[in-house]
Structure 1
């Protein structure tokens, strides 16, 4: 069974709806998203936390679409163009402002759906979160174990739910280990290639209304950041698990390719 892993990362996309922070007009949303200080912080989160994992996936057979607007200020638009030109797995879609956010997401994803695939593993990724270096490989391998369940409804969610909540403060990064179901990061929605939906079409907090789901609680698979610019600053429900400080630093390096000192600097800059 041919599975295409296909994700969407929105980088300061100017459009209405789709976010927890509402704005009354496109102009108001643009002024908020394109504030120079905010853009500088978002780029720092993206390049320091989110990007390293995608550049070093153990399974390189995936596509991550970066969605932004055609008027994204420089130098960020040029930086994104250079990034996707150098990385075969990344695509850039410049989507004009749209009132209906899900239609905008579909416009970004649709050109990259492989009609020859049997299943599309859709995922969303925020520009200030991280997935483990083997997320793509694990999603594909774990789906193979439960593909019979997918065949019943031709819809299935696969939730890699063990993660770290990163809180940014003036003293650096602090981490809360959590098992948090359907957080949205490291969550894969498996659909047929002829379906119009993407991962964004399904509210990740209400997935059981639409499809069966499987939770995989090991190994450590994601980092979700919580800071002043977060669309949602809520950690959400979950179960706490324990990790020693020395092991935490090893896991950051081994699982995510990240250095604690870099994350401390990122957190201080964001704070």
Structure 2
């Protein structure tokens, strides 16, 4: 069975809905999203948290759609173009503002669906989170065991629930091992190629209302990165896991190609508190 792995990463996409931080009008949202200092921070975290493991995947057969608006300011729009030229798996999608966010996301990924695939493993990649270097391999390989369950409704979620929460403040970056139920990173939604849906149609915190799901908690598979510019910054439902004497520098380097010391220095240099959101870090 052919499994296409297809991801969506929104980089400061300007649209009408889909975010918890609200604005009075589109102009207000544009000013917030396109603030140069904010974009500089977003790009830094994107380059040093999200991209390293994606560019080192043990299974390179995947597509990641980088979604943004056609008026994203320079130099960030050109940098996204250059990145897509550099990385064969990346595709740039410039989507004008649309009121319905799920429709905008579907418009971004629809041209990249493989009609020859038997099933599409959709994943959502926030631009400041990370998946482990074997995420694509495992999500494709594990579907073989999950296929009988998927075939009942042609919908299925698979949650790699063991991960790390990194919190960046003016004091640096802390690391907390967490089991998180259906976090964004490490969650795969398997759909038929003709489903006319993307992962964005199914809110991750209530995905059980839409499909059966499986949890595979064995390996550390994601990083949830909390910083000043998070849309919500809520950790999500879950609990800690016992890490013992784990060396976080080594684990983050091995599993995610993340340089923790570099992130720590950058957080101190930015000198910002956590986001001013009701549930940031909780």
Query: What's the TM-score, normalizing by structure 1?
Result: 0.97
Q: Tell me, in whole angstroms, the C-alpha distance in 2 between the residues paired with 1:77 and 1:269.
A: 25
Match of 2:279 in 1: none
Runs of 4+ in 1 over 6 A off after TM superposition: none
Alignment of 1:35-54 (within 5 A): 35-54=35-54
Alignment of 1:104-183 (within 5 A): 104-183=104-183
Q: Which runs of 5+ in 2 are unaligned?
A: 273-282
Q: Tell me, in whole angstroms, the C-alpha distance in 1 between the residues paired with 2:221 and 2:83.
A: 24
Q: Is contact 1:159–1:187 with CA below 8 Å preserved after alignment?
A: yes
Aligned-pair CA distance for 1:268: 2.3
Q: Tell me, in whole angstroms, the C-alpha distance in 1 between the residues paired with 2:265 and 2:234.
A: 22
Q: CA RMSD in A?
A: 1.1
Q: CA-to-partner distance for each residue in 1:170-214, whole Å, 9 max, x for gaps?
A: 221101110101011110000000011100110111111110000
Q: Which runs of 5+ in 1 are unaligned?
A: none
Q: Tell me, in whole angstroms, the C-alpha distance in 2 between the residues paired with 1:15 and 1:3.
A: 30
Q: Is contact 2:249–2:261 with CA below 8 Å preserved after alignment?
A: no
Q: Is contact 1:53–1:132 with CA below 8 Å preserved after alignment?
A: yes
Query: What's the TM-score, normalizing by structure 2?
Result: 0.94
Aligned-pair CA distance for 1:245: 5.5
Aligned-pair CA distance for 1:265: 2.2
Aligned-pair CA distance for 1:232: 1.0
Aligned-pair CA distance for 1:237: 1.9
Q: Tell me, in whole angstroms, the C-alpha distance in 1 between the residues paired with 2:8 and 2:269.
A: 26
Alignment of 1:1-271 (within 5 A): 1-244=1-244, 246-270=246-270, 271=272
**Count of residues in correspondence between the two structures:** 271
